[in-house]
Amino acid sequence: MNTPPPPRLSVSGLEVAFGGLTALDGVSFEVRDGETVALIGPNGAGKTTVFNAVCGLVKPRKGTVRIGGRPAPSRPTGLLKAGVARTLQGLGLFERMTVLENVLVPLTALRVPDAVAKAHSTLAELGLADLAARPAGTLPYPERKRVALARALAADPKLLLLDEPAGGLGTADIDALAETVGRVAGSGRAVLLVEHHVDFVMRVADRIVVLDFGQVIASGTPEAVQGDPAVEAAYLGLEAAA
């Protein structure tokens, strides 16, 4: 009998505190290969803190983070080697570097052979080939978001963490993003995303984990979560009221 592979990401009993404030309280969930999981919740629910704990940017008080069955690297520098790439809410592009150089940074850090060819092919996949020589800081916002995504995808991560990927994008760009996320998950990679854009989440997520005040209040398929009264009260209800 074959044992199933371990989850690509397993977060178990995660507790994070900043001084006296408990940001995460016993958060547990899993993301499997080929699956797209969305973390949603009101502002301050602890979504980005989960990302930061997975990336080693904050140290959990309790709990474990395992990637592919192994403990997550304790330092962010080891993330890419462990097969994890992340985009940032603020994009974090190297503004004065060209688009190509931005995408080359993770590839050279990993010493990927033929890094330049790999970077060009990733840019072409995301429709950025013509912008390769442009300084990243000169691009319009949607293109800059695509550069951040290309940079995360360039090193072929097994787990992609997307922090508010649809934020600030128009309908056409959100459609293209949904297609890209679908393609990434379709290729067998795991995607975990934090997002406020509910329509986008409902479209791309296989499962949704809802956080409120640092705790998981619901988890399941988009349909199941959408009808959950606790979620409506904590998040979707607020959206509807707004």
List contacts with another protein (CB under 8 A): 55, 57, 75-81, 86, 88, 92-97, 101, 104-106, 108-110, 115, 151, 155
Q: Closest distance between another protein and the C-beta of residue 207, in Å? A: 25
**Separation CA 230–CA 128 (nearest Å):** 42
Q: Closest distance between another protein and the C-beta of residue 62, in Å? A: 24
Q: Closest distance between another protein and the C-beta of residue 101, in Å? A: 6
Closer of 161 and 205 to another protein (Cβ)? 161
Closer of 52 and 219 to another protein (Cβ)? 52
Closer of 77 and 221 to another protein (Cβ)? 77
Closer of 191 and 234 to another protein (Cβ)? 191
Q: Closest distance between another protein and the C-beta of residue 161, in Å? A: 10
Closer of 87 and 219 to another protein (Cβ)? 87
Q: Closest distance between another protein and the C-beta of residue 80, in Å? A: 4
Q: Parallel, antiparallel, or unpaired: how do β-strands 62-67 and 84-86 relate?
A: unpaired
